[in-house]
Amino acid sequence: QSDTGLETAVRFPADFLWGAATASYQIEGAATADGRSPSIWDVFSRRPGAIVNGDTGDEACDHYHRYREDVGIMSSLGLRSYRFSVAWPRVQPDGRGPANQAGLDFYKRLLDEVQGAGIEPMLTLYHWDLPQVLEDAGGWPARDTAERFADYAAIVHGAFGDRVRYWTTLNEPWVSAMLGYHNGAHAPGRREPAAALASVHHLLLGHGLATAAIRSQNESATVGITLNLAATSPATDAAADLDAARRIDGVANRLYLDPLLLGTYPEDVVRDVAAITDFGFVQDGDLATISTKIDMLGINYYTTNVVAAPNGNGPDAGSPHPAAEDVRHIGRGAPKTAMGWEIDPDGLFQTLKMVSDNYPSVPLYVTENGAAFDDEIGPDGTVDDPERVAYFDSHLRACHRAIEAGVPLRGYFAWSLLDNFEWAFGYDKRFGLVFVDYRTQRRIPKSSARFYADVIARNELW
């Protein structure tokens, strides 16, 4: 609001990249089609109790067969860009060796459709569906997996490098490492703190090696990585709360940002986790590889951390934070989404500002932001989701404020295009702009889809 009380336009830059995002295992289904091998999620989702309702991604949104309809929806929303991931087990079912052409062909058909609609693809190489054969060989705690990832990246870039401009290596290495190997909430469901920290290093190394492999094919490729980041604040100014915030910010944000953008692991975090690992997995030259210059940084944002010092009740067994399992997560008392995540749009501004203030400048993209709510089809057949509209509106205002404050934010991707397989929560949590009726595979754009289409068409909020 201006002093006159008149609304000032919340207008976005003319070339702002408006998109929506998905991930292969969450939408594709067709788990055994055309030579795809099992991923760690095919195996983990069959473990009793691992996923709400015992759901799996076997069918998901059947996007593998319905991609034409789904690209039609993207068109009708006016998306400028579509962020999706490639399933490694489709492209390289053995996790090593030759490519599976039938797997590549699916992504060729998809890209033909997406680009035919004038939509700019943003391709993510890894959104958590590691070929199970590579987990059997050690998974991310094993250094070899980083080398295998670079080979796979070279295959995919070799196939599509001439037509895809935006490449991101990994989606959220924190989730892969900490939910996969520390608290075991995600595939492969291991609870091994030392292995989790080795995974962090090998994921980042894989990112660096893959970036180099892509650059060796095309020097001018636009390559980056996506991190889930959350500004972290202390409950009070008490020294113990400040230290709790430092520790969580360390293992959740700086453990990834520092090696990627500064070429070093944060000393305080290395000290905090010293009882778990001595970082013996770091070899000469690794940090130079990891900090290979990137052309963009993707940020996935859902909520923030407000933390307090341990209260002596001991560690939280489900904590994803090594050496900080006893830090208390107290929140702000703000309304929550169906995930139980507090809604904190200012936290998105703070997160973008933190990255742009503390690290060398790199173009930023919000590669995921969105919310789950308990959507239902109404009596008239529509899905009305005013809470999601409000969520997007408030978070887009935070993005706009960040741009005004000088943050080099170049685009925004709503999570997600479609309701989909929400990992450990199965189909129970709906994040889509578009409702999916899993019995019929019918797609119903929610009111938030119409809202977002209007934002894109006007390039501003009103």
Active site residues: 172, 368
- On whether 28 is known to bind a ligand per the annotation, the reply is no
Cβ proximity to ligand PNW: between 81 and 228 the closer is: 228
- On whether 26 is known to bind a ligand per the annotation, the reply is yes
For residue 34, what are the contacts with CB-CB under 8 A and spacing of at least 6?
Answer: 90, 100, 102, 103, 105, 106
Q: Select from 368, 375, 385, 419 the one that contacts ligand PNW (CB under 6 A).
A: 368
Return the half-sphere exposure (C-beta side, CA atoms, 13 A cut-off) of residue 198: 20
Asked if 289 is part of the footprint of ligand PNW (rule: CB under 6 A), the reply reads no
Q: What is the CA radius of gyration of the chain?
A: 21
Q: Select from 51, 156, 175, 355 the one that contacts ligand PNW (CB under 6 A).
A: 175
For the bound state, the minimum distance from the C-beta of residue 364 to ligand PNW, rounded and expressed in Å, comes to 16
Contact positions with ligand PNW (CB under 6 A) in 226-285: 228
- On whether 127 is known to bind a ligand per the annotation, the reply is yes
Asked if 86 is part of the footprint of ligand PNW (rule: CB under 6 A), the reply reads no
Contact positions with ligand PNW (CB under 6 A) in 299-318: 300
For the bound state, the minimum distance from the C-beta of residue 26 to ligand PNW, rounded and expressed in Å, comes to 6
Stretch that binds ligand PNW, among 64-72, 170-178, 306-314, 351-359 (CB under 6 A): 170-178
Buried b (16+ CB within 10 A) or exposed e, 319-344: bbbbbbbbbbeebeeeeebbeebbbb
For the bound state, the minimum distance from the C-beta of residue 320 to ligand PNW, rounded and expressed in Å, comes to 7
Stretch that binds ligand PNW, among 30-38, 49-57, 114-122, 167-175 (CB under 6 A): 167-175
Strands (E), 137-231: 166-171, 222-228
Contact positions with ligand PNW (CB under 6 A) in 416-435: 422, 431
Q: Which long-range contacts (CB under 8 A, 24 or more apart) does 379-385 make?
A: 381/444, 382/444, 382/447, 383/435, 383/444, 383/445, 383/446, 383/447, 384/446, 384/447, 385/446, 385/447, 385/448
Asked if 172 is part of the footprint of ligand PNW (rule: CB under 6 A), the reply reads yes
**Dist CA 437 CA 459 (whole Å):** 30
**Dist CA 65 CA 76 (whole Å):** 19
Per the listing, tokens 């789904």 go with 70
The residue count for binding ligand PNW (CB under 6 A) is 11
- On whether 302 is known to bind a ligand per the annotation, the reply is yes
Instruction: Answer yes or no: are the C-beta atoms of 150 and 210 closer than 8 Å.
Output: yes
Strands (E), 14-77: 17-21
Asked if 415 is part of the footprint of ligand PNW (rule: CB under 6 A), the reply reads yes
Asked if 23 is part of the footprint of ligand PNW (rule: CB under 6 A), the reply reads yes
- On whether 423 is known to bind a ligand per the annotation, the reply is yes
Asked if 129 is part of the footprint of ligand PNW (rule: CB under 6 A), the reply reads no
Tell me the one-letter amino acid at 322: P
Instruction: Answer yes or no: are the C-beta atoms of 13 and 7 closer than 8 Å.
Output: no
Q: Select from 24, 124, 171, 199 the one that contacts ligand PNW (CB under 6 A).
A: 171
Cβ proximity to ligand PNW: between 26 and 39 the closer is: 26
- On whether 92 is known to bind a ligand per the annotation, the reply is no
Tell me the one-letter amino acid at 106: F
- On whether 420 is known to bind a ligand per the annotation, the reply is no
Note the residues at the interface with ligand PNW (CB under 6 A): 23, 26, 171-172, 175, 228, 300, 368, 415, 422, 431
Annotated binding-site residues for substrate read 26, 127, 171, 302, 415, 422-423
